[in-house]
Copies of this chain bind each other. A is one copy, B any other.
Amino acid sequence: MAQLSEFLAVLEAALPADALLTDTADLRTYECDGLTGRRVVPAAVCLPESTEEVQAVVRACAAHRVPFVARGAGTGLSGGALPVAEGVVISLARMNRVLDVDLYSQRITVQPGVTNLQVTEAVAAHHLYYAPDPSSQQVCTIGGNVAENSGGAHCLKYGFTVNHVTGLTVVLPDGERIALGGASLESPGPDVIGVFVGSEGTLGIATEITLRLLPRPAAVVTQLAAFDSTDEAGAAVSAIVAARILPSAMEIMDRLTIEAAEAAVNAGYPEDSGAILIVELDGVAAQVEEDLAALDRICREHGAWEIRTAADAAERALLWKGRKSAFGAMGRVSQSYYVQDGVVPRTKLPQVLRRIAELEQEYGLRVGNVFHAGDGNLHPLVLYDEHVAGESERARELADAILVACIDAGGSLTGEHGIGTDKACAMPLMFGRDDLDVMQRLRRAFDPAGLANPGKLFPTPRLCGEVPGPYRQHPLERAGLAERL
């Protein structure tokens, strides 16, 4: 380990006194992110405070061929910040300053450790806000949002993180820094910003991020409709889309999730609902009113038997309360749960929900369904008890089988949680060999040595040596999934 101590000496010299952690007790607090099922203790953790310090750490890594993993708040659900045992975690927690606010151009520049909600708070007095709103927005950081191209309930209308990043300062895997974009959304040549956003830390580390801000909409109304079944609620969503109404959010919760939310936070959702649909409209008052009337009619036509409308912030918060606490609330009805994240074309929602019901029977486990219905992003919550032998493995297999059902329906592996370590081995279900090869070429163009967040996003023989459960039965797998790895 002479090499390691030499490497650590370089890091120590490059960083402030308390910015290098090597004690095992300290390192253990970084062993996983929100995907708690996988844990790896890193060799060291660095806590740089500036772009220059990040460069110094990355240069040392490049010189010693040490892999590095950038980490924000560690709230990611796909293991995108899972450490590498022989590698360094570069925590950006101390890079948490707002660097610039340009009210005229409606842009803000922040360091990566600023939380999503802090961005909006920094400009709230000027009636501006930052649109992408992951459920974890109080704690998750902008750096992580950029790495994962995060969405949220309102991305139906406002798009994902990539639609809101106009400039990046990036430290490349060789330690060089580059500046991409700026205040303008238009720059000549290939869209290098688009390459970085969503690359899950595999191309470098963003150390300054310029974001587009939006004016607060003049009017916001939230409506809750109670149905007998998710099929009915789903049909209402299809009809809303067909009527060309573009709500800022459309969320469905099923019976099990409603029960859990009621038990946990007493949200006051209508009793005996088979499903509830929460729709939020924003924009000009006249348009919101017109759309609200149409919404009401469409929901009733599709079987809604109770409709509540919230017109002020307090009432809205009440309607959202159960939805926003839905994941955590599952702790009231189940020992443990696994959150899946998949996408299906909106028209295939009923088909995939029926398949999930079959899988519940097949695996003898319960699944709660919460989803961003507008963009077909499902979040099935697979309930299990880790103290029952084999149940956590069965839960995982069931969650995998749901993902296969999403892909079979023409959907996607992830709506917003990312691929990370969790789904890297499932990438060949969605992408052909040539598609993956293009992504790998892009990656190697920036990181020929493969030091930036290895083992994430892309399937590798080391990671996927044994193809996990349900993927084995998938037609694509039979067509040679294993050999594509």
Which residue numbers of A lie inside 8 Å of B, CB to CB?
A: 104-105, 149, 151, 159-160, 162-163, 172, 176-180, 183-200, 203, 215, 241-242, 244, 283-287, 290, 343, 345, 347, 375, 412-416, 418-419, 423, 427, 430, 432, 434-435, 438-439, 441-446, 457
Instruction: Please determine whether A195 and B194 come into contact, CB atoms closer than 8 angstroms.
Output: yes
Instruction: Please determine whether A439 and B189 come into contact, CB atoms closer than 8 angstroms.
Output: yes
Interface residue from B189, B200, B439 paired with A192 (Cβ < 8 Å): B439
Interface residue from B104, B192, B196, B419 paired with A188 (Cβ < 8 Å): B419
Interface residue from B180, B241, B445 paired with A435 (Cβ < 8 Å): B180
Nearest CB to that of A418 among chain B residues? B188
A435-B180, A442-B445, A445-B444 given; A151·B190 CB < 8 A: no
Instruction: Please determine whether A178 and B435 come into contact, CB atoms closer than 8 angstroms.
Output: yes
A375: chain B residues at CB < 8 Å are 184, 186
Docked CA distance A419–B415 (Å): 35
Instruction: Please determine whether B435 and A176 come into contact, CB atoms closer than 8 angstroms.
Output: no
A162-B191, A287-B286, A434-B176 given; A412·B186 CB < 8 A: yes
A341 to chain B, nearest CB (A): 10
A196 to chain B, nearest CB (A): 7
A104-B242, A434-B177 given; A187·B442 CB < 8 A: no
A183 to chain B, nearest CB (A): 7
Docked CA distance A179–B437 (Å): 12
A412: chain B residues at CB < 8 Å are 184, 186-188
- List 4 A-B pairs, minimum CB-CB distance, nearest first: A194-B194, A286-B286, A191-B194, A445-B445
A290: chain B residues at CB < 8 Å are 284
A189: chain B residues at CB < 8 Å are 198-200, 419, 427, 439, 457
A218 to chain B, nearest CB (A): 9
26 pairs of residues in contact across A and B, judged by CB atoms under 8 Å: A104-B242, A159-B185, A178-B434, A183-B345, A184-B343, A184-B345, A184-B412, A186-B375, A188-B198, A188-B412, A189-B427, A189-B439, A190-B199, A190-B443, A191-B191, A192-B195, A194-B194, A194-B195, A284-B284, A284-B286, A284-B287, A285-B286, A286-B287, A287-B287, A438-B446, A442-B445
Docked CA distance A419–B187 (Å): 10
Docked CA distance A423–B188 (Å): 10
Interface residue from B186, B190, B418 paired with A196 (Cβ < 8 Å): B190
Docked CA distance A176–B179 (Å): 32
A456 to chain B, nearest CB (A): 10
Nearest CB to that of A417 among chain B residues? B188
Docked CA distance A77–B313 (Å): 51
A101 to chain B, nearest CB (A): 15
Nearest CB to that of A127 among chain B residues? B244
Instruction: Please determine whether B186 and A160 come into contact, CB atoms closer than 8 angstroms.
Output: yes
A418: chain B residues at CB < 8 Å are 188
A199: chain B residues at CB < 8 Å are 189-190
A74 to chain B, nearest CB (A): 20
Instruction: Please determine whether B415 and A186 come into contact, CB atoms closer than 8 angstroms.
Output: yes
A179-B435, A183-B345 given; A197·B191 CB < 8 A: yes
A178: chain B residues at CB < 8 Å are 432, 434-435, 438
Instruction: Please determine whether B284 and A188 come into contact, CB atoms closer than 8 angstroms.
Output: no
A198 to chain B, nearest CB (A): 6
Docked CA distance A260–B242 (Å): 46
A185: chain B residues at CB < 8 Å are 159-160
A381 to chain B, nearest CB (A): 21
Instruction: Please determine whether B188 and A203 come into contact, CB atoms closer than 8 angstroms.
Output: no
